[in-house]
Amino acid sequence: MWSNGLETALECVGRGWPVVPGALWVGDGYVDPVTDAECDALALSSPAMATVDPEEVRRLWPVSDGGVTRSALAVVGTLMTAVVVEPEPARWLVGTEAFRASPTPVVMLPVPTLGLMIESAVFVVSSAEGLDEKLVFPRNAMLPLPPTVVEGHRTQWLVSPVECDGLMSGPELAGLLETSNRR
């Protein structure tokens, strides 16, 4: 959907999501696309640097000669919450009429689990109320946004923000998940 980190970051700040720059996955490690320095992890910046200012985003995401920008990471906190759901129930859920009536963004994200990269669906909602706490990202966690690559695995939108008018609330998602568990 978006071709680089700058476009993703600008779209997200336009929706009020705080973002910070991330590194790129190159070969078998993370690299800062601006300095070419190796990094230990995808996150380059502190959550305290998160911004919703478009001018600050343009400053933090310089585009290289090859058109490459840093990856975009959304910072989870008071404005948004991220909830992990297994892929199969998530795909079923986003296809339901109830979800399509008021969709929320969903990122398909590789998550390291027991030494393996397991694909998970991450629903972006406005609150964690009513949701299983062990599935909710902690405050100030960073959510990699497409087209970010996490340890060689590309993130992608199952439901993009462009398809949504806003964020679903925690209780709304909890109700839909409860319905999907009964099917």
**DSSP assignment of 45-87:** S-GGG-B--HHHHHHHS---TTS---EEEEEPSSS-EEEEE-H
Domain count within the chain: 1
Instruction: Name the nearest CA neighbour of 161 among 109, 121, 120, 125.
Output: 125
pLDDT of 2 reads 53
Q: One digit per residue, pLDDT tens: the chain, 183 residues?
A: 456 889 999 999 999 999 999 999 998 999 998 888 999 999 999 999 999 999 999 999 988 777 788 999 999 998 899 999 999 999 999 999 999 999 999 999 987 777 778 899 999 999 999 999 999 999 999 999 999 999 889 999 999 999 999 999 999 999 999 876 666
* pLDDT at res. 183: 60
Query: Is the link from the previous residue into 87 a cis peptide, with omega within 30 of 0?
Result: no
Q: What does the pLDDT read at residue 113?
A: 73
Amino acid making up residue 13: V
**Residue type at 99 in one-letter notation:** F
Please list the helix, strand and coil fractions of the chain in percent, rounded to the nearest 5, in that order.
30, 30, 40
Cβ atoms of 51 and 20 closer than 8 Å:
yes
Phi, psi of 158 (to 5 degrees): -85, -40
Tell me what pLDDT residue 182 has: 64
Please tell me the predicted confidence (pLDDT) of residue 142.
Answer: 95
Tokens read off for 128: 């964690």
So what's the pLDDT on residue 1? 47
Domain that includes residue 170, residue range? 5-182
**Cβ within 8 Å of residue 121, ≥6 positions away:** 84, 85, 86, 87, 90, 91, 106, 107, 108, 109, 158
Quick one: pLDDT at residue 14?
92
Report the distance separating Cα 175 and Cα 183, nearest Å. Answer: 13
